[in-house]
Amino acid sequence: MASSEKKHTPLLHIVKRDPGTLTWGYKLLVRGIAILAALVVCGVLITLLTGENPVVVYGSMISGVFGTSRRVWNMLQGVAILLCVSLAVTPAFKMKFWNIGAEGQVLISGLACVAAMMFLGDVLPLGLLIVVMVAASVLAGMIWAVLPAIFKAYWNTNETLFTLMMNYVATQLVAYFLKVFVKNGSGVLTPMPEFGLPVIGGQAYLLNVLIVLVLTILVYVYLKFSKQGYEITIVGESENTARYIGINVKKVVIRTMLISGAVCGLAGLLLVGGTNHTISTTTVGGRGFTAIMVSWLGKFDPLYMVLTSFLIIFLEMGSQQVSTDFRISSSISSIVTGIILLFIIGCEFFLQYRVVFRKNRKENV
Amino acid sequence: MLAFLVSAIRLGMTFLLGSTGETITEKAGHLNLGIPGVMCVGAACGCYAEYLYFTEVGIDIDPTLAILIPMLAALLGAAAMGLLFSFLTITLRANQNMTGLAITTLGVGMSEYIINEASIIFTKGSRYFRAPLLEIPELEWFGELFLGHGIFVYLALAIALITTYVLNKTRIGLHLRAVGENPATADAAGINVSLYRYVATCVGCGIAGLGGLSFIMDYLKGNWEYCVDAIGWLSIALVIFTVWKPNLAIIGSIVFGALYVASSYIPGVSFAGKELFKMLPYVVTILVLIFTSMRKNRDHQPPQSLGLSYFREER
């Protein structure tokens, strides 16, 4: 290559890939390398912080998740709840509706559920009470989700910040009602397991896991095979196209957020009615935000999302075990999760673009 | 009443720093939802540096260094997070919302880790930050309201005013806005889009990091609380509240500060009612969001390509 030509050719340049040309193996390879690299970085980090052998650290992580049958159940429960919230946000995200308010939607439905348990628990028979709990949770979630959707549909109000602010409104409402409900002023509501969802098969979390399993299949079918799912995809790809082929975009936005809110309501029900039997301002514990990651990493496909939510829960539980085993701060868990997420987000680059070095340039022109 | 206003101003300056930082980033077209995490990291780095400095020198403390070292650490720590965000969103063109949320997760975790390594009480260091910059003459309420503050209040005001000037009156500001409105046009005009975005994001994050430090050292008097991220989210909301104008944000931030601390100062509010009061800043933000979107005033819109990555060959 002549030196004068070299001067005008950058060392490397970036070309967009045609999405059709990507093979399965390549996608898997890139993501696999990203996760592996992230694990190595996290391992090095923990080794530096604790001075332990990384292999021992990974061993501690695995034992934290699979070590005992109780831990396995905790893991399944964690995956189920996280997956449930992720399933809730998925239809909205597929529509490019940036709902970061799942946290608030789940929390407010938990509040509705706890209110039903407190005030109707002694009045209604258990069967009827559960029906009321389900209805209250789902309704509360729907209301919290549909408000931003209406304003987005009619006035194009920024939904990201609207839903974000709704989170804090929900948190403060819970804080307020905890002080009203709990007469001694401690703000801690005693659990009411007697009014919870029934325990089946002797396993406290089995019902939750089964409900989410069914929900996963339902959401998968809804998004993939129903007319409404198709409309969601079109609105997400291009609003103009959707309008052109006669889809009522406003209706789709509002309807999808109603569904999203309803599923968030179910997550609230499972968390409060099926797990904690009480509520606090941190009941949802950031799952609303993590769910966005799960959904996005799983490419909005409910079946992949099972894997991605498992990955997140594995990291969380595993690094908690590491923090107790090696006596380091439990915040290591969010550090590890953050690092892995950044690696996976970053690796998308290699799926969407191709880096072309100078010497290869001729053949690509 | 006076104590209420002073408190509102002190907290407001944290919001002001956070939102000025985010405004600079957003003007360049990048929506950085990592600001809450960045502010946490800024606060933690600053506090840790203060802790290191104090253990190093013992009782022989230089008041200027006691302020400068934490500030520098906060600035650098936060800017490093900004660099990470920039690399992912600008060079690797990753989704900005996702990257921002991941940065927030990482930042909150990192700040907790760093703070656990030091201590959570920095009252000694806080005294240097809260020392009045100007000696109060016999001006009573006027002096207390405007002159008796520590360095952060004046720093925040200065940064907000300088930012407004640079954005609106200088060539650099014009280029920056062009990059945020229409990067393709800016690129065609010979403006280095990536460079502007990198610098804007890192500078913005650095300023926001200072905001995190001011929250701990100035408003909380050096008592660490694990709620810097909530302040960060409000700072992002403030950007919209003040329609991307740092000079308006001076007023807006004091309003936010007042709303946030109101529950402690209004007499007759019940124990539970305080929680409802704390809802105010969020509700007001929602109302402003709705109001500005309904009015559709062209001056009050976000930068046109906010949240979109720029890829030159995709035109």
CB contact under 8 A, A341 and B105: yes
Contacts of B290 in chain A (CB under 8 A): 151, 155, 157, 162
Q: How confident is the model at residue B85 (pLDDT cuts 50, 70, 90)?
A: very high
Distance CA B258, CA B4 (A): 7
Higher confidence at residue B15 or residue B57? B15
B108: closest chain A residue by CA: A334
Compute the mean pLDDT over every residue in chain B, rounded to the nearest whole number. 86
CB contact under 8 A, A329 and B236: no
Measured in angstroms, the CA of B223 and the nearest CA of chain A are apart by 19
Q: Where are the beta strands (DSSP E) in chain A?
A: 12-16, 353-357
Contacts of A348 in chain B (CB under 8 A): 92, 94-95
> Mean pLDDT throughout A160-167?
88
The amino acid at B294: M
Q: How confident is the model at residue B69 (pLDDT cuts 50, 70, 90)?
A: very high
- Quick check: helix, strand or coil at residue A80? helix
Q: Which of A176, A333, A336 minimises the CB distance to B275?
A: A176
DSSP string, B74-101: HHHHHHHHHHHHHIIIIIS---HHHHHH
In this prediction, the answer to ipTM > 0.90 reads no
Q: How confident is the model at residue A7 (pLDDT cuts 50, 70, 90)?
A: low
pLDDT tens-digit profile of B192-224? 999 999 999 999 999 999 999 999 988 888 888
pLDDT tens-digit profile of A57-100? 888 888 888 988 889 999 999 999 999 999 999 999 999 888 88
Measured in angstroms, the CA of A147 and the nearest CA of chain B are apart by 11
Does domain B2-300 fall under CATH 3.30.200? My reply is no
pLDDT surpassing 80 at residue B189: yes
Percent of chain A with pLDDT over 70: 94
CB contact under 8 A, A180 and B272: yes
Residues of A (207-226) whose Cβ lies below 8 Å from B? none
pLDDT tens-digit profile of B32-66? 989 999 999 999 999 999 889 988 887 778 888 88
B282: closest chain A residue by CA: A165
**Least confident window among A206-215, A262-271, B59-68, B247-256:** B59-68
Give the pLDDT of residue B315: 52
Give the pLDDT of residue A4: 45
CB contact under 8 A, A338 and B314: no
Residue whose C-alpha is closest to residue B168's, from B251, B244, B252, B253: B244
Measured in angstroms, the CA of A97 and the nearest CA of chain B are apart by 12
Q: Is the pTM of this model over 0.90?
A: no
CB contact under 8 A, B278 and A332: no
Sign, Cα dihedral of A118, A123, A126, A132 = negative
Distance CA B35, CA B285 (A): 17
